[in-house]
Structure 1
Amino acid sequence: MGLLTRTREEAPCTVEVSHRFEELSAHVRLDNGAIIHPGDAVEVQGPEIMAPYGEVVREKRTAIITRASGVERMWTRMTGDLEFMELCEFSFSEEALQ
């Protein structure tokens, strides 16, 4: 990993899309054990996967992992806590907004 350069790598993956009453989700598992670090991006190749209602669809695909540069990784780690705190700045109330 370079300080200012990004690298790309391919990895086999399994995509699982669930469209059931109890679960609506999509998950990607990298089959070669690759680890995603802060700032990295993963793009799954191929057409959109649509699961009919009540079913779970699993497909083997190829993922392109774009590794963050050293500077991007450091920036993501430094600002990640701030972005998390933004998510925490909410509350639930029974009062109606006026």
Structure 2
Amino acid sequence: MSKVQQGMVMLIEAFHKYSGKEGDKNTLTKAELKDMLTAELGDFLGKTSDKAALDKIFKDLDANADGTVDFQEYVTLVACITMICHEFFTEGK
């Protein structure tokens, strides 16, 4: 498997590691999202103990306003963070 394919598998596995603990296995609730952000992206985002910040992240991600974050909305978050990291690491080049 190529590195890109491995990355895709890892994204899918990370989503499903947290989704479904509180209901639908294909979505993240706010609590599941918080757990995922803290455990998987804490180094980039810091700890997600700020309730207002978490509420804003969740609201911004929940594009269809159904009260959950589905896989497409999750991938959008990961892509945006990846773009920010790419810009940060390539600014000096």
Same fold (TM over 0.5): no
User: What TM-score do the two structures reach when normalised by structure 2?
Assistant: 0.28
User: What TM-score do the two structures reach when normalised by structure 1?
Assistant: 0.27
Rg larger in structure: 1
Bigger RCO of structures 1 and 2 (CA < 8 A, at least 6 apart): 1
* Higher strand fraction (1 or 2): 1
